[in-house]
Structure 1
């Protein structure tokens, strides 16, 4: 929304008005994307014979919160050696200071980035996402919020600890 503001202008208008027409084409497309992601994950998690040991589900937030641990897990899963250069790259690109990370920079403090959306999205839009993407959010272990105060409360995690095996 920050990098491409014109693409999300209608969502911002809806948030200001407090009304989001869920039968709108863009909302339906958003729901369809959520449904596709959920269905793909469900296939992978059901571990059909043809996907066994070939599918690993990893949430963005887990990578952001534990970049080194998750990278090691992914490298181990794929059988690719986890080199010192990769380790150094991860440290350099996930532990940066705020002033070093502009909009188009690849360097971020990854643990902060994972929850940054909570403090910039209007509660109205969070409610719409919860309604249209609820089943997908449940599968991935995202907690729902009932009010703006909970959405903005940094001490409340909106992410369940979850292993995807």
Structure 2
């Protein structure tokens, strides 16, 4: 059906830290503390992070190395790019699915804060756990940089987002 009907596939990828921040806030309002007093992720949330990273890699591989018809009818969009550059990403998405993308060039960039909101909602210790649950490969293929220290985490001038390898910057 996908091949014969020219179905378009849009894969929306989101930084595991941002995804986790949203899920934790919505489903796990209390911060998990281990018996020795250290911050940890709720076990269900940790499993969700692992599954998210597997999903990201599976879909990335499917649309970059899968059958030609799937590669031709698929597009990968990072949530962060859609948020930072809506004036470019939204028209491209509309054009990809065969709609007039020019009518939507006035996209609101008001959600740009959401790309780093995870830094407000997560503690450094939680970020380290999340990053360790996903492979370095996931971060590399999507252009997300890992936080390497608490000093980096607290530096509000750092975004931890690079251009996705193989794609033009902004």
Both proteins in one fold, TM over 0.5: yes
Aligned length: 145
TM-score using structure 1 length: 0.72
Q: After TM superposition, list the pairs within 5 Å mapping 1:126-165 onto structure 2.
A: 126-134=127-135, 135-163=137-165
Q: After TM superposition, list the pairs within 5 Å mapping 1:2-151 onto structure 2.
A: 5=25, 7-9=27-29, 12-14=31-33, 17-20=37-40, 24-84=43-103, 86-88=104-106, 90=107, 94-95=108-109, 109-134=110-135, 135-151=137-153
For 1:2 and 1:33, locate their aligned partners in 2 and report how far apart those are by CA, in whole Å: 13
Gaps of 5+ in 1: 96-108
The root-mean-square deviation of aligned C-alpha atoms, in Å, is 2.9
- For the 8 Å contact 1:44–1:51, the answer to whether it is kept is yes
What per-residue deviation string (whole Å, max 9, x for no partner) do you get for residues 19-70 of structure 1? 4379x45423321222122211121122522313211101000011001111
Q: CA deviation at 1:78?
A: 2.2
For 1:124 and 1:72, locate their aligned partners in 2 and report how far apart those are by CA, in whole Å: 38
